[in-house]
Amino acid sequence: MQKTVIEDDEPKFVTGNLMKHVSVMSFTASIGLMAIFAVDFVDLLFISMLGNIALAAAVGYAGIILFFTNSINMGLSIAAGTLVAQSLGKKDKPAAREYATAVMLLGFVSSIFVVIAVLMSLDNILGLIGAEGETLIQAKKYIHIILPTMPFMSIGFAAMAVLRAYGDAKRSMYCTLYGGLLNAVLAPIFIFALDFGLEGAAMASVAARFLMIYLAVSPLIKSHDGMAPVAISLITNHIKPIFSLLVPAILANVATPIGSAIIMREMAKFGTDAVAGMAIIGRMSPVVFSVVFALSGAIGPIVGQNFGAGKMDRVRTAFIDGLKFTFIYVLIVSVILFFVRDYIVDIFGVTGEAAELVILFCGFLSLTFFFNGVIFVANACFNNLGYPIYSTYVNWGRNTFGTLPFILVGASYWGASGILLGQALGGAIFAIIALWLSFKIMNAGGIKHKVDAFHIHSRIHNMHIRRR
């Protein structure tokens, strides 16, 4: 039996205005992300209202652990989105369906082992990043409620990435938007009305996660027929192309929480107030810069489809448009933050070191978030043009060599504020490196043997179908 391919559906991103594609994909993705991040931000505000600074610090420590596990899921979603987008660019729908299901199945199984390993080592991990006493106890309670949902969220993350690969940014947005709204409704009820406190915030997050999973998987199956029947053979048949993206993508993504842990450990030396201030910044920055955070996932399908279709001129234009878009957005948000910085300090009721850190971030330092955006766009380029290992190099370099020496020097001169300054400087250096690597890849036309390997894999898959 011959393998069927798409003949009548032109991939969405291989034609049309690229800046429009970048803007629409980024804003729609960011709306959903903003909903989730905003709820996390409001949760922290609610928790700070309980009057115990240790609870806010506990959320900061727990956030690093959960960020680590979510980064693994993000790596899975990058692999799913990239392979599906490239398949659609080649008009090979059967391969797209199989890749989507294979990555979800692999993610679910592997996440179970990750959850077990983290829970068994939780005391040591939290202690390693500086948590102690009441803060450590509260962080453990929070993590014990949320972390077991990781295997299910691996399916949700992958499904949302696949929706974006199909160009269905709206439905991908709805997943996180409605999940965030549910969290926003349940959090104050659980925290205050039912008097569950910190555990209540975690329970609300769990409910929101399961709603997100349903809203991602349902349209993928019903509207796009985007999943193949579940079978272990899907993993074995597609293991090579999946792992060629999955391993470097996961390694690249877990680098960020490692860097955050390094920063939090150094910040802990300046007391609970400094950790609480860092927790506020950690929850606020994804809200105000949600569009920047969405860029990698938004521009990835655009690059992937055009690369799959052999349109390198559009790949380059999409990359440059992504950088322009990032610069304009960061500039606007930074100006707004500057004028509302005192208000942000007031609503959280923080003083001393915590207030100083928040004000510093809302000042000129927020402009340096542009360099984070450069790295996000570059990573999308690396992953979709066949150089995912470059994402690993850049992210690990940025979160180790670009973090530790800079924050140590900064802390020695300017205390806790110097940690933020050092982090920003190191990030700028590695953003420049990522930019140089991206243009080098695009000038070379992407990795040629990746296209050939993909073609060979398709032929093997076709032979396998004929034998059945």
Band (455; pLDDT cuts 50, 70, 90): very low
Is 6 inside a domain boundary? no
Phi, then psi, of 147 in degrees rounded to 5: -55, -40
Structure confidence at residue 327 (pLDDT): 94
Give the separation between CA 9 and CA 4, rounded to whole angstroms.
13
Whether the predicted pLDDT of 442 surpasses 80: yes
Query: Whole-prediction pTM value?
Result: 0.71
Say which residue the tokens 């209540």 belong to: 200
Sign, CA torsion 29/75/403/324: negative
Identify the weakest region by mean pLDDT among 20-34, 104-118, 136-150, 376-390. 20-34
Is 3 inside a domain boundary? no
Is 2 inside a domain boundary? no
Structure confidence at residue 11 (pLDDT): 63
Question: Could you tell me which of 257, 258, 280, 266 has the C-alpha nearest to residue 409?
Answer: 266
Tell me if 340 sits within 8 A of 353, measured CB to CB: no
Whether the predicted pLDDT of 134 surpasses 90: no
Give, in order, the Cα–Cα distances in Å from 453 to each of 126, 238, 414: 43, 12, 52
Structure confidence at residue 466 (pLDDT): 37
Band (359; pLDDT cuts 50, 70, 90): very high
Structure confidence at residue 374 (pLDDT): 95
Give the separation between CA 262 and CA 278, rounded to whole angstroms.
12
Structure confidence at residue 1 (pLDDT): 38
pLDDT digits (tens, 9 = 90+) for 8-58: 456 677 777 778 888 777 777 677 667 667 767 777 778 877 777 788 888
Q: Which residues contact 274 (CB under 8 A, 6 or more apart)?
A: 267, 268, 353, 354, 357, 416
Give, in order, the Cα–Cα distances in Å from 128 to each of 103, 136, 251: 32, 11, 20
Is 4 inside a domain boundary? no
Helix (H, G, I), strand (E, B) or coil at 173: helix
DSSP string for 106-170 = HHHHHHHHHHHHHHHTHHHHHHHTT--HHHHHHHHHHHHHHGGGHHHHHHHHHHHHHHHHTT-HH
Q: Which residues contact 10 (CB under 8 A, 6 or more apart)?
A: none
Output b/e per residue, 84-111; b: 16+ Cβ within 10 A: bbbbbbbbbbbbbbbbbbbbbbbbbebb
Is 12 inside a domain boundary? no
pLDDT digits (tens, 9 = 90+) for 366-385: 999 999 999 999 988 888 88
Q: How many domains does the chain have?
A: 1
Whether the predicted pLDDT of 462 surpasses 70: no
Give the separation between CA 330 and CA 153, rounded to whole angstroms.
29
Structure confidence at residue 32 (pLDDT): 62
Whether the predicted pLDDT of 451 surpasses 80: no
Output b/e per residue, 342-360; b: 16+ Cβ within 10 A: eebbeebebeebbbbbbbb
Phi, then psi, of 162 in degrees rounded to 5: -70, -40
3-state DSSP of 254-288 = HHHHHHHHHHHHHHHCCCHHHHHHHHHHHHHHHHH
Tell me if 213 sits within 8 A of 152, measured CB to CB: yes
Sign, CA torsion 267/272/273/276: positive
Tell me the mean pLDDT in the region 47-73: 82
Tell me the mean pLDDT in the region 98-123: 93
Give the separation between CA 233 and CA 246, rounded to whole angstroms.
18
More confident residue, 299 or 149: 149
Considering only the C-alpha atoms of the chain, give the largest distance between any 2 of them, rounded to a whole number of Å. 71
Is 158 inside a domain boundary? yes
Other CB atoms within 10 Å distance of the CB of residue 283:
22
Is 454 inside a domain boundary? yes
Whether the predicted pLDDT of 5 surpasses 70: no
Band (452; pLDDT cuts 50, 70, 90): very low
Give the separation between CA 370 and CA 366, rounded to whole angstroms.
8
Tell me if 147 sits within 8 A of 207, measured CB to CB: no
Which tokens is 281 given? Answer: 């910044």
Identify the weakest region by mean pLDDT among 130-139, 307-316, 335-344. 307-316
Phi, then psi, of 51 in degrees rounded to 5: 80, 15
Band (445; pLDDT cuts 50, 70, 90): confident
DSSP H or E stretch at residue 76:
helix 53-89
**Residue 141 burial class via C-beta count within 10 angstroms: exposed 0-12, middle 13-18, buried 19 and up:** middle
Is 7 inside a domain boundary? no
Which residue range is the domain that position 292 belongs to? 17-467
Structure confidence at residue 185 (pLDDT): 92
Structure confidence at residue 10 (pLDDT): 62
pLDDT digits (tens, 9 = 90+) for 267-313: 989 988 888 888 889 878 888 888 888 777 778 778 878 887 788 88
Band (78; pLDDT cuts 50, 70, 90): confident
pLDDT digits (tens, 9 = 90+) for 342-358: 988 888 877 888 899 99
